[in-house]
Structure 1
Amino acid sequence: MSLLCFDLFVNSCGELIRYEPANQLMLFIVQDISILLNLIIILLMLFNTYVFQVGLVSVLLERFRALLMLSVLYLTFSITLHCWLMNLRWFNTNTYIWTDGLQVLFMLHRTASVLYYYFYKRTAECLGDPRLYEDSPWLQDIFTRVRHQGSFLNSQQH
């Protein structure tokens, strides 16, 4: 959650230091690394579940697909926005430069950030569910369904 708070801080206050491009560049680099670390942390949390360990990766991917895709999209938007901003403003710190494309990318980035915060927090709460870390009737039911579908598909192929 601290990495999310840092990301929110940079999104809120990153433009205030645009007059010092080296500092802004370092802040953007740390922000992009924190987004990547958040993605790695969620993946590690998914790998530690009992559901993953018994081989039901598809169940986890189906349940948390939105966050994984949104994380990659948000990281892509962040890197693109940061490169574009630094490219336009590195030598022109005193001028106001906002192209139409940059404004669109900025709005997409900020919209993706709100969705990213929501889905990340929701996923972190969902990963606290004890049913994901132990054998349970819910998991046995899913495992039986997956095994039954696999045997049904194999019988149709022969």
Structure 2
Amino acid sequence: MLQTSNYSLVLTIQFTFMIYDLMSNSFSELIFTEPVIPLIMFIIQDVGILFNVIVIFLMFFNTFIFQAGLVKLLIHRFTGTIVVSGIYFILSVSFHVWIQNLRWWNMRGYVWTKGLQALFVFQRLASVLYYYFYKRTTLCLGDPRLYEDSEWLRNEFFRVRK
């Protein structure tokens, strides 16, 4: 059972990684001093995205719905978050690898190809969707009905069994 103090800590950690991700997306193009600084920023950003996805799944496993065997209900309810998080992670890693390959030896030059610019736009659009879905899911997982036996859960269990 996820208690209030534990939920607050998990929520704080998740939002800290999300804020870092937002700041990294916003200001990574302004850091051109050394090639290693954006590399470290991108690695921390990608690890943060991966960590947030792992924490969401751990929160899924902690719910009474998951423990009652209604995994399909959780997956159905949070499919958008799972899909958007996966797409955003793939787009972010792809963008970070591409931009680092182009700028590693030429930090002072302007090295934007058309493909990189398209990937940049898609990654930033996916980030907006990721922030929305992830925040919504995190707040929905704070619902106490998900962590205890209730009439709603029994009705869902019988509906699924039929």
TM-score after normalising by structure 2: 0.90
Per-residue CA distance 1:76-115 (angstroms, 9 max, x = gap): 0000000000000100111101111001000000000001
1:31 counterpart (45, 55, 58): 45
Q: What is the RMSD of the two structures over their aligned residues, measured on CA atoms?
A: 0.7
- Report percent identity of matched pairs: 54
In the alignment, is residue 131 of structure 1 matched against residue 155 of structure 2? no
Q: For structure 2, list consecutive stretches of 5 or more residues without a partner in the other structure.
A: 1-14
Moved segments of 4+, more than 2 Å: none
- Which of structures 1 and 2 has the bigger CA Rg? 1
Matches within 5 A, 1:68-79: 68-79=82-93
- Displacement of 1:19 in angstroms is 3.3
Q: Which residue of 1 aligns with 2:66?
A: 52
- 3-state DSSP of counterpart to 2:78: helix
Q: Tell me the amino acid that sits aligned with residue 26 of structure 1.
A: I
Q: Tell me the amino acid that sits aligned with residue 36 of structure 1.
A: L
Matches within 5 A, 1:9-158: 9-148=23-162
- Displacement of 1:143 in angstroms is 0.5
User: Separation in 2 of the partners of 1:47 and 1:144?
Assistant: 21
User: Separation in 2 of the partners of 1:85 and 1:131?
Assistant: 45
TM-score after normalising by structure 1: 0.92
- Displacement of 1:31 in angstroms is 0.4
Tell me how many residue pairs correspond in the alignment: 148
